[in-house]
Structures are given as C-alpha cells and as structure tokens.
Amino acid sequence: MTIQSIDLMALAPTLVVALGALVALIAELVTRRGQVAVGVGLVTVAVAVPFAVAASGEQTLCSGVDSACSYVVTPLSVALQVIVLVSTAVVLLMASADIADRRVPGGEFVFLMLCSVSGAVLIPATNDLVTLIVALEVVSLPTFALVALRQGESRAAEAALKAFIFSIASVAVSLYGIALLYGTTGAVSFDQLAAAAQASDPTPLATAGLVMLLAVVAFKIAAIPFHGWAPDTYQGATVPVAAYLSVVSKAAGFSALLLITGTFAAWSEMWAPVVAVLAGVTMLGGNLVALRQRLAVRLLAWSSIAQAGYIVVPLAAVAGSVAWGPDVANAVVGYLVAYAAMNLGAFAVVAVVARRTGIVEWGDYRGLARRSPGLAVALAFFLASLAGLPPGLIGLLVKVRVLVVPVESGVWWLAAVMAVATVIGLAYYLAWAAQLFRQPDVDERPVTAEQATGSWTAVVSVAACLALTVAFSVAPSLALGLVDRF
C-alpha cells in the first residue's frame, strides 16, 4: 500500500504558514505581548514567499490513478499565493496597532489570521473539488472568529453572525453543486472534470451543479446578489479585519473562480452568461449604492464590491468569441494585484485616521490635508487609483487591460456597463478626495500626536501600499505581467 508520495518542497508555503500560526500562538502565550505574535506572523510570511516562488512548476500528492495530483503549482497559482502573502503582511502591520492597545487579543488574532491565510495559500494550487471546498472553509471559518474578536463592540458579534450564516448557506449550496457534478461525471479532480467537459455537452444536472458551485465563489468575492453580508460585516469588524476580508478573502474567492472556470472552459457558453450578468450587476450595483454612503468603511465595502465586478469582467467576456486562456487569467490577476495594493492602502489610511481621531464618516475627513498632509496625499492617490484617474495611473491601466477582453470578444453590453460603472465610481471617489483638501470649517485637534504606541506600524503599512501603488504606476508591467514573472 503505497502512501501518497509527498513532495514537501511543493507544499512548503502552506505548511510554513500553518506552523507560523502555531508558533505565533505559543509565542504570545509565553511572552504575554501581542507584538511578538505579529513579529512571528511577519517572519512567517517573509519565509513563505520565497518557498512559494521556489515551488513554481512542481506538483505533489499524486495518487496512482492516472497520476491525478491534488496539489499542482502553476505560475498563476504562485502569483496568487504571492498576492495573498504580501497582502497578509500589510494587514498584520495594520492590525499591530489594535493588538498593541489590547483592543484585540494578539496571539489568537494572528493565529486565526495565519490559519486562514494557509487556506488561502492552499486554494490556488488545489487540483480537485474536495480540497477546494475544504480549503475555502479553512479560509472562511477563522475570519468569522476574527470579526467577532473585537472587544467592547457589541455589533462585532452581529457582523460575525451575518457573515457566518451567509457562509454556511452558500457552502451548503456549493457542496450540493459538487455532489451533482460528481454524480454526473463521476470525478472530482479538475483534470478528469475538464476531460469530461471536453467530452460532452453539459447535462442539465451538470449545469445546475456548476451554477450552484459558483455560489460559494460569489459569496467569497461578495458579488451581488451574494453581497448582503459584506457592508455590515466590514462595518462591524475592526478595520484591519475588514481590509483582510476585502483583499485576501476575495483573492481566495478569485483563485477558486479562476480554477473552476479554467476547468469547465469547454462549457463556457453555459456558465459565461451567468458570470457576465454577475459582473455587470455587481459593478453597477456596487457603485450606485456607494454613491449614497456616509461611513468611510461602508463606502470602501461597496467600492470593493464594485471593484470585484471589474475583476470578473475578463471571465465574463468569455461569453463572446474569446476563449478562457492565459490572456484572460493574466488580466484578472493583473487587476487583482493593483486592486490589492490600492484597496489595502485606502483601508490602511482609514485605519490610521479612525484610530487617531475616531472619525468614521468620510465627510469628516474635511481638511485632513491641513492636519496630516502625508496621509491625505496617500489617500487621495489611492482613491484616484481606485477611480482610474491619473495620477492614479495603475488604476487606469488595469481598467484598460480588463476592458480589452470584452471589446476583443465582442461582448459590447459588458464594455458599456463597465464604462458607465467607472464614471459613477469616479463620482464618490472624487467627492471624498475633495473633502481632504477643503478648508477645515473648525480646527479639530491636531492629528500629529501619536495617541497609542505601535501606531508607527500602521503608518508603515500605508507607506508600503503607497510604494507598491506608485511602483505599479511607474512600471505597470510589474502588476500586469506578474504571472509571467514566475
């Protein structure tokens, strides 16, 4: 009985992160200081990234039956893993301030986050539906705990509850989808499923199964109509956790979406229209409701819903003449990289401002440029990038990169919807950016004083995001060509 041959090197990133989680937990127990846990977390990420890059091209845990391995590392998966890991580093930096002043139990926080990250790192390299759904569950469950971990905030529990219920509902539906797919094709590994898809047209049962499978993905990337939980949960959770949800958890969702659509590329006429409608509704709905928001975090929540719509556009464009391929995947990853940098940056600044001045409404950011110019310029830059308006060059370029696909494949209505959505989006990003530079009507207390210790790390996170976004703006092929680098 041959035990599955395990190539540890390939699995290294996931293992390192899982181990890191344990070490962080124990470190906090031993030293009683949350900062140490964050330190361990950062080190873990630092170690995991090179492993991820090194593992490119390998595959392991291959079973005897037609050598279907359950862990396959492709350049696409490495890119996604790197995005997840780097974003986690930034989130940890953001969170260290909360951990420092005991608003959140440091050890558990870092442990849960790293567990979730280990799942997120696992997803891109999975090669069968079973591992995929388990990994998705590994990513989601700790996040609900993270959301609820916010001491002294009654609404945190409510936020966690909403996310939890939405999650278990969508997982149950997706599991049923997997059951149906397994039922009709007799296979769960992506290679066999792809072969089955090429072999014959989708049976009604397979169609239903696949559409239901998309439920959990729609939940993870918070696409309308599976978005209900997002704004409330982001508002209820601490800002770093909200940032984590909006970037890393969504990246996991997109990885799953890429894998699923990649596998069932042969049935694209069946699922592409669904994804197209999903993308269109998400873009328009996200931007429209964002117009009306007053709270900063809620606005960012709706904005990230809209951005998720943009990221899905290339996959949606497969409904036209363009087939699913590396070109489409690169467009998605390209936008995802830029989105991660811009979005994390915006959340980082909101986190810093919320901590220092307690401001939650974006309207109260009036005259921020007067009080802390650095933060104001950074936020303005992130908002411009999210809007896709120069000087936020990378935001514009990735939108162009994403818009090429529907134009090439002739899905005109999608290109039109994206154009309109971008314009609507510009309205609220611009309104917020303007607030920063307006004259403050009453001179609030100066923001310069460092209220709490450890908030220098938050500023570092802002600086990191700014550096990344500027670098992408200057050399866009860093972001647009990320997949080809590995």
Partner 1 sequence: MTAPLVMVLIPAVAAFVGLLVGGMSRAAAGAIAVAGPLGALVVAGLLATEQPWTDPIVDTGFHGVLQPFPAATVVDGLAVSVALMVSFVATLVQIYSIGYMKAEPRYSSYAAFVSLFTAAMLAVVVAGDLLLLVVGWEVMGLCSYLLIGQNWERQEARRAAVKAFLVTKVGDIGFIVGIVVLIGATGTTLVPNAVQAASSDPTVATVASGLILLGVLGKSAQFPLHAWLPDAMAGPSPVSALIHAATMVAAGVYVVARFYPMFLAAPGVLTAMAVIACITMLGAAVISLVQSDLKRVLAWSTVSQLAYMVAALAVGSRDAAVFHLLSHAFFKALLFLAAGAIIHAVGSSALRDIGGLRRSMPVTFMTMTIGLLALVGVFPLAGFFSKESVLVAAEHAAAGDEVVAPWVGWLVLVVAVVTIAVTAAYAVRLWMLTWAGPRRGNGPIHEAPPVMYLPLVLLAVPTLLFGFTALDVSALPTWIQANATEPLGTPAALTPALVTIALSVVALLIGVGIGWRSRLPSAIGDGTSILARGLGVDAAYDWLVVRPFLVLVGWTTEFDQHVIQRTVSGVGSGTAATGGRLQRTQRGDVQRYVSTALTALIVAVVITLVTVAT
Partner 2 sequence: MTSNWLLPALLVVPLMAAGILLVAGRRAERWATWFGVGVQSVGLLLTLGALAEFKRGSAGSMQLVVEAEWIPELLVDFRLGVDGISLPLVALTSLLGWCAAVYTVRRVPEPGRARAFVGLLLLLQVGMLGTFMALDLILFFLFFEVVLAPMWFLIAFWGSGERRRAANTFILYTVLGSVVMLVGFLLVIVKTGSADMVELAGGLGEQMSGGAQLAAALLILGGLAVKTPMWPFHTWLPDAHTSAPTVGSVLLAGVLLKMGTYGMVRIVVPTLPDAMVRIAPYLAAFAVIGILYGAMASYGQQDLKRVIAFSSVGHMGFVLLGISTLSVVGINAALFGNIAHGVITGLLFFVVGGIKERTGTTAFASLPRGLYASAPRLGFLLGFAAVASLGLPGLAGFWGEFLALVGAYHPAVPEHLYYRAMLVLAAVGMVLAAAYFLRVLRRVGQGPGSEKTMDDVAADEWLSWTPLIALTVVLGLVPVLVFEVTDPAVRMVVESVAGALP
Partner 3 sequence: MSDRSLLSPTGVDVVFALLGAVAAASALMVVTTRQIVHAALWLVVSLGAVAGCYLVLTAEFVAWMQVLIYLGAVVVLLLFGMMLTRAPIGPSDDLTGTNRLVAFFASVAVTAVLGVLVVDAFGSTMIDVSGEPSSAAVMGEALFRYWVLPFEALSVLLLSALVGAIALSKPDEGA
The Cβ of residue 172 has, within 10 Å, a number of other Cβ atoms equal to: 13
Q: Does 208 bind partner 1 (CB under 8 A)?
A: yes
Q: Does 25 bind partner 3 (CB under 8 A)?
A: yes
Instruction: Judge whether 383 and 368 are in contact, CB under 8 Å.
Output: no
Residue 174 vs residues 133, 136, 361, 486: alpha-carbon distances, Å = 8, 11, 37, 32
Q: Does 199 bind partner 3 (CB under 8 A)?
A: no
Q: Does 120 bind partner 3 (CB under 8 A)?
A: no
Burial (CB < 10 A; 0-12, 13-18, 19+), residue 58, is middle
Instruction: Judge whether 286 and 224 are in contact, CB under 8 Å.
Output: yes
- Indicate which of partner 1, partner 2, partner 3, none lies near residue 70 (CB less than 5 to 8 Å, by partner kind): partner 3
- Indicate which of partner 2, partner 1, partner 3, none lies near residue 4 (CB less than 5 to 8 Å, by partner kind): partner 3
Question: What is the rounded CA–CA span in Å between residue 135 and residue 129?
Answer: 10
Among 43, 274, 360, 452, interactor with partner 1 by CB under 8 A: 274
As measured in angstroms, the least distance from the Cβ of 282 to partner 1 is: 12
- Indicate which of partner 2, partner 1, partner 3, none lies near residue 152 (CB less than 5 to 8 Å, by partner kind): partner 3
Helix, strand, or coil (residue 72):
strand
Q: Which of residues 138-167 bind partner 3 (CB under 8 A)?
A: 138, 141-142, 144-145, 148-149, 151-152
Among 51, 71, 111, 226, interactor with partner 1 by CB under 8 A: 226
List alpha helices for 123-200, DSSP H: 129-148, 154-185, 190-199
Q: Does 175 bind partner 1 (CB under 8 A)?
A: no
Among 39, 43, 176, 420, interactor with partner 3 by CB under 8 A: 176
Q: Tokens 């935001």 identify what position?
A: 395
Among 47, 54, 270, 463, interactor with partner 1 by CB under 8 A: 270
Q: Find the part of the chain contacting partner 1 (CB under 8 A) among 124-132, 210-218, 325-333, 371-379.
A: 210-218
Instruction: Judge whether 264 and 287 are in contact, CB under 8 Å.
Output: no
Q: Does 57 bind partner 3 (CB under 8 A)?
A: no
User: E strand or H helix at 430, and its extent?
Assistant: helix 412-437
Listed in sequence order, the residues at least 6 apart from 464 whose beta carbon sits closer than 8 Å to its beta carbon are: 89, 90, 93
197-202: Cβ within 8 A, 24+ apart: 197/263, 197/264, 197/265, 197/266, 197/267, 198/266, 201/267, 202/267, 202/270
Q: Does 128 bind partner 1 (CB under 8 A)?
A: no
The reply to whether omega before 391 is within 30° of 0 (cis) is yes
- Closest C-alpha to 171, from 134, 117, 224, 131: 134
Q: Does 431 bind partner 1 (CB under 8 A)?
A: no
| Binding residues for partner 1 (CB under 8 A) | 161-162, 165-166, 169-170, 173, 201-202, 204, 207-208, 211-212, 215, 218, 225-226, 228-229, 231-232, 269-271, 273-274, 277, 285, 288-292, 424, 427
| Binding residues for partner 3 (CB under 8 A) | 1-4, 6, 18, 21, 25, 61, 63-65, 70-71, 101-103, 105, 108, 111-112, 115-116, 118-119, 122, 126, 130-131, 134-135, 137-138, 141-142, 144-145, 148-149, 151-152, 176, 180, 183-184, 203-205, 208
